[in-house]
Amino acid sequence: MSPLPASAALALGDDALVLSHRLGEWAGYAPVLEEELALANISLDLLGQARILLSLVGDEDELAYLREERAFRNLQLVEQPRGDFAHTIARQLYFSSYQRLLYEELARGDDALAELASKAVKEVAYHRDHAEHWTLRLGDGTAESHQRMQQGLNALWRYTDEVFEPIEGLSVDWPTLRERWTEQIAHVLQQATLTMPSGPQGDAWTAGGGRQGVHTEPFGRMLAEMQHLHRSHPGAAW
Amino acid sequence: MVTAGPVEETPLERKLREAAGSVPDPELPVISLAELGVLRGLRVTGPGRVEVELTPTYTGCPAIEAMSADIERVLHQHGIPEVTVRTVLSPPWTTDAISADGRRKLKEFGIAPPRTTGPATNGPVAVDLAIRCPHCGSTRTTLLSRFSSTACKALHRCESCLEPFDHFKELS
């Protein structure tokens, strides 16, 4: 096996952990029971990935619960508040499409990341399927569902540039990955009668520095909630 | 321990593997770990010392910890004081690892078993495109949700007998 790119495991592990937490916030709030279960299941898959990835770097609990905001290497996309259901689906579409393409490529490697990627890519395929079907249903649904879906897509678009920033330690053909991602998203949105957001993917004020530890304001509040129990009761167990 | 190539299973290892394999799945107790195909191997690494390899169905499957604890308990009962259960990811588990008996038991329990995705190892190749209702056998079924009570199942409804049912999703 090739030596492990720890920085990469941290970046991908943080993506999975943070998105898992954001999806978990839907417990008790999802529009229907089936979706509550679906989002919780996707969250659980991501938490499983995060546990394996973070364990490649160090102690999973210490990394998840005792790091400060600036030490996290996740994308700013995954830390954004969950918003309404359409907003969450827009993020799921953007992220699961990216994660599937990335994991497909990583699965071809020969390091510890490849083992995880070839396992997780199958789960992520279901996540993407779920996001795609909801995008079609909301986009091609009522006037209100269409408008909310479009709003979610537009609002999160600015965070999608950072997604293709090369991760240290990974040999991935990023421009090709970006091209395929853009094609896939455009295809789904067209079928869903939605419009591909046209603004810049990055923006002056969203530096897109998640991989360098620069995060947006809502992330600090999310971490406070996520880490509060562990910090208040060190070593607590069920 | 260093071994050159695969080592033949000793009678003791066989007995212990069968004991570990007979542990019921914590979430679907009708099916055993052996039938689910998650028990990858068992080796006696020293006197009173056994190492077991277990693979998760899904990366985040919370049942894996209960499975490990149950295997340890059963092997302790078989006189093995030192049991190490290792989780292995590679090669990834697929639903084709579920045995024919396991599929039959799932169906009897009211869960539509996963369709086989790989080449059949023996017997005729079953071509089954629709998800069949485990209650009445009808193929007139509708997908309600891609995710059900656990990550490995999807929720369907039978349009013939109108009963909802879980389907063990294919993972190939």
How many residues comprise chain B? 172
Question: In angstroms, rounded to a whole number, what is the distance separating the alpha carbons of residues A128 and A93?
Answer: 6
Q: Cα distance from B15 to chain A (closest Cα, Å)?
A: 30
Q: Which pLDDT score, from 0 to 100, does residue A198 have?
A: 82
- Within B48-171, where are the H helices? 63-77, 100-108
A85-144 confidence digits (pLDDT tens): 999 999 999 999 999 999 999 999 888 899 999 999 999 999 999 999 999 999 999 999
Question: In angstroms, rounded to a whole number, what is the distance separating the alpha carbons of residues A201 and A158?
Answer: 4
ipTM: 0.79
Choose among A165, A153, A178: nearest CA to A73: A165
Residue A18 lies in a domain: yes
Name which of A44, A45, A119 is nearest B92 (Cβ-Cβ): A119
**Low-confidence residues in chain A, pLDDT < 70:** 1-4, 202-207
Phi and psi based region of residue B110 (left: phi greater than 0; alpha: psi -120 to 50; beta: remaining): left
- Statement: residue B7 has pLDDT above 90: no
Contacts of A44 in chain B (CB under 8 A): 58, 60, 62, 151
Contact B90 A115 (CB under 8 A): yes
Distances in Å between the Cα of B63 and the Cα atoms of A2, A24, A236, B57, B66 are 31, 19, 21, 9, 5
If you average pLDDT over residues B11-28, what whole number do you get? 95
Domain CATH code at residue A75: 1.20.1260.10
Contacts of B62 in chain A (CB under 8 A): 44
| CA B73 to the chain's CA centroid | 19
**Looking at chain B, which residue has its C-alpha nearest residue A52?**
B59
Quote the tokens at residue A20.
């898992």
Q: Which pLDDT score, from 0 to 100, does residue B120 have?
A: 47
Residue A208 lies in a domain: yes
* Domains of chain B, residue spans: 11-87, 105-168
Q: Which pLDDT score, from 0 to 100, does residue A111 have?
A: 85
Quote the tokens at residue B10.
């000793």
Name which of A35, A37, A48 is nearest B60 (Cβ-Cβ): A48
**Looking at chain B, which residue has its C-alpha nearest residue A17?**
B60
Q: How many domains does chain A have?
A: 1
CATH code 3.40.50.10470 for B11-87: no
Residue A1 lies in a domain: no
Q: Which pLDDT score, from 0 to 100, does residue B100 have?
A: 94
Exposure string for A3-24, b = 16+ CB within 10 A, e = fewer? eebeebbbbbbbbbbbbbbbbb
SS3 category, B42: strand
Residue A237 lies in a domain: no
**Looking at chain A, which residue has its C-alpha nearest residue B169?**
A126
Instruction: Report yes or no: A44 at the B interface, CB cutoff 8 Å.
Output: yes
Name which of A34, A35, A116 is nearest B89 (Cβ-Cβ): A116
Residue type, B73: R
Q: Which pLDDT score, from 0 to 100, does residue A238 have?
A: 74
B104-162 confidence digits (pLDDT tens): 999 999 999 998 875 544 555 455 568 999 999 999 999 988 888 888 889 999 999 99
Strand partners of residue B82: B49
Contact B172 A35 (CB under 8 A): no
- Within B109-171, where are the H helices? none
Contact A44 B151 (CB under 8 A): yes
**Domain membership of residue A177 as a residue range:** 6-232
- Statement: residue B2 has pLDDT above 60: no
- Statement: residue B1 has pLDDT above 80: no
The DSSP 8-state label assigned to residue A50 in this structure reads H
Residue A238 lies in a domain: no
Question: In angstroms, rounded to a whole number, what is the distance separating the alpha carbons of residues B152 and A42?
Answer: 11
Choose among A162, A97, A180: nearest CA to A135: A97
pLDDT tier for residue B62 given thresholds of 50, 70 and 90: confident
Phi and psi based region of residue B137 (left: phi greater than 0; alpha: psi -120 to 50; beta: remaining): left
SS3 category, A23: helix
Contact A122 B171 (CB under 8 A): yes
Residues with Cβ < 8 Å from B72, sequence gap 6 or more? B83, B85
B68-103 confidence digits (pLDDT tens): 999 999 999 999 999 999 999 989 999 999 999 999
Contact B60 A49 (CB under 8 A): yes
Choose among A55, A103, A161: nearest CA to B92: A103
